[in-house]
Amino acid sequence: MEFLECWRRLPNKGFFFLLLTAWLVLFCFVGNSTFGYIDTPSLLRWMWNAYNPPNDTGAGDDGHGNLVPFVVLGLFWWKRKELLAQPLNAWPPGLLLLALGLAIHIAGYAVQQPRVSILGLFTGLYGLTGLAWGPAWLRKSFFPFMLFGFSIPLGSLAEAITFPLRVLVCKLVEFVCHYVLAIDVSRTGTALVDPTGRYQYEVAAACSGMRSLVATLGLALIYAVICFPEWWKRAVLIASALPLAVLGNVVRMTTIVIAADIGGQGAGNYVHEGGPLGILSLLPYVPAFAGLLLVGHWLRPRQITPTLSLEAKTV
C-alpha cells in the first residue's frame, strides 16, 4: 500500500518511463562495438557477460555488478519520503546531462571501450530523472546514483590493484605464521610454500581479496553517508575499508595454511573451497564487516549520562 501511495504521488511517470525505454533500447541495439569479445550489439548483454563470465563456475571478480541495481533501488526506497517531499517538476536543463551521457557513449562506442559507454548510460539515466523531476531530485538522489560506479567491470584493469594486494597478503601471512603461530612457511612471490613440500598455495588473482575489498568499500560508503553527516567521519570510515579487507583476506589465507599444516594439502584445499556448506568462503567478510561496525561505533558521539548534583544527593 505504501508503494502504491508513493507511485500515486510521483509525477511525470509516463514521461520518464517512455524516455527510459527509448534510452535502454539505444544501448540494446547500438551499445557495444567490441564484437570480437562478445558477439552482441547490446551493452547490457556485454555487462551481464562481464559480471557472469561463461568460463567461471560462479560470478567473477565483477559479479557484484549483479547486485548494484538492487542496492540502488533499496536506497531510493529508503529515501522515498525525502525525495517525494521535494518540488517535483519537469526541468528542461536535464537535457544537458542527457546529452552529456550520449556524448560519453558515442566516444566509448567509437574507441571500443564499453566501460566508457557504461558511464554514459548511467549519466544519461541520471539526466532523465532530472528532466522528469527537477534539480532537487538530482541533489537528493546523487549518492544512490553514484553507487552505479560499482557497475563498471574492471576486468583485466584490476590487475594493477590485485597484484599488490596478493603480494601484501602473502607477506602478512608469512609474518603471522612465522612470528605468531610458529609455522614454518616461506613466501616465493605470491606463493606460500611449506619447506618440506607438504603443501603449496599460489595466491592467484581470484584470491587477492578484490571481491571482499569491493564489498567492504561499498558497505563503508553506504554506512558512512547514511549514518555520519560529518565529512571527516565519512572519510575515516571509507578509508578503513582497504585495511579491513586486507585483514579479512589475511585471516582466510592464514586459516588455510593452519589447516594445511595440520592435515596436509587436502585439508588446506578443503578450507580453500569453503569447508562445510561453503561457509568458510565468507570468512574474509567477517573481520571486514565487524571492523566497519567497530569503527562506526568509535565514531559515534558519546552520550553523557547526567549525574545528580551534590545538593540533589543531599536532598
State the 10-residue block means of pLDDT for the chain, 315 residues long: 91 94 95 80 92 66 88 93 92 95 95 93 96 94 92 81 85 89 84 84 68 87 90 92 90 90 86 78 86 91 58 47
The packing angle between helices 285-299 and 210-227, to 10°, is: 20
**Domain end call among 153, 187, 218:** 153
Q: Is the pTM of this model over 0.85?
A: no
Residue 33 phi, psi dihedral angles, 5° rounding:
-115, 5
Burial (CB count within 10 angstroms: exposed 0-12, middle 13-18, buried 19+), residue 84? middle
State whether 112 and 172 are in the same domain: no
State whether 117 and 174 are in the same domain: no
Confidence at residue 57, expressed as pLDDT on a 0 to 100 scale: 46
State whether 90 and 72 are in the same domain: yes
Domain that holds residue 270: 158-299
State whether 149 and 45 are in the same domain: yes
Report the alpha-carbon distance of residue 256 to residue 153 in Å, rounded. Answer: 29
- CA quadruple 157, 163, 164, 166: dihedral, nearest 10: 140
Domain count, the chain: 2
In a domain, 307, yes or no: no
State whether 149 and 166 are in the same domain: no
Residue 137: closest CA among 73, 202, 185, 82: 82
State whether 147 and 226 are in the same domain: no
In a domain, 309, yes or no: no
Confidence at residue 188, expressed as pLDDT on a 0 to 100 scale: 82
In a domain, 109, yes or no: yes
**Domain end call among 124, 153, 182:** 153
Query: β-pairing, 200-202 with 186-188?
Result: unpaired
Residue 117: closest CA among 125, 109, 128: 109
**Domain end call among 153, 181, 211:** 153
